[in-house]
């Protein structure tokens, strides 16, 4: 099983599983194109100006620089994006990120006191935004680049409202039994 299925309780229902919005991959894609263009230009320049073993050595240096920059500016952000998860279930909100070391937070729905979202004009066009969750015991937590943030906000609000309603019903049942 893959995340998040392997981290759910047996009767817990997955409602939303998102990676950050694709707009977070625009920068790495631009870096890929720019670094490839610049290194190709340098490689061609080195090969045209230098000949023999000197040109070959500098060509390998340019290739090594290209691979290093490509890994750092393009590949690593994509891998990091792939290992970032925002999950809503019928019981909790989970956020996990990290490749080699993973950090995460779980917020039970019953502890959430406020859910807000924000998106500017560009985010509205792209269908993304920032989701802010305030729980009873912590400062507000902000989750950036959540795809379909309005829909996630509405779903989360309804789940929190249902959880509060269930708690109220259970409290009323206890009070009625005590009478």
Is residue 6 pLDDT above 90, yes or no?
Answer: no
Residue 178: its pLDDT value, please? 59
Residue 167: its pLDDT value, please? 62
According to DSSP, residue 141 is labeled E
Domain boundaries, the chain: 25-80, 105-178
Coil, strand, or helix at residue 155?
Answer: helix
The proportion of the chain whose per-residue pLDDT surpasses 90, expressed as a percent, equals 59
Extract the tokens encoding 154: 């509405």
DSSP of 29-80:
HHHHHHHHHHHHHHHHHHHHH--HHHHHHHHHHHHHHHHHHHIIIIIHHHHH
Extract the tokens encoding 14: 């997955």
According to DSSP, residue 11 is labeled T
7-11, 44-48, 93-97, range with greatest mean pLDDT: 93-97
């Amino acid at each position: 099983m893959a995340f998040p299925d392997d981290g759910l309780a047996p009767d817990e229902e997955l409602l939303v599983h998102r990676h950050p919005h694709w707009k977070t991959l625009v920068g790495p894609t631009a870096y890929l194109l720019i670094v490839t263009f610049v290194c190709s230009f340098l490689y061609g320049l080195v090969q045209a100006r230098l000949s023999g073993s000197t040109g070959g050595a500098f060509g390998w240096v340019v290739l090594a620089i290209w691979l290093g920059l490509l890994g750092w500016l393009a590949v690593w952000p994509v891998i990091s994006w792939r290992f970032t998860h925002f999950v809503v279930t019928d019981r909790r909100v989970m956020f996990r990120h990290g490749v080699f070391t993973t950090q995460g937070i779980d917020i039970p729905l019953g502890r959430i006191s406020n859910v807000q979202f924000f998106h500017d004009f560009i985010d509205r066009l792209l269908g993304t935004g920032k989701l802010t969750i305030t729980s009873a015991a912590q400062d507000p937590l902000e989750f950036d680049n959540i795809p379909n943030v309005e829909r996630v906000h509405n779903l989360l609000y309804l789940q929190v409202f249902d959880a509060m309603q269930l708690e109220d019903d259970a409290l009323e049942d206890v009070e009625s039994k005590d009478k």
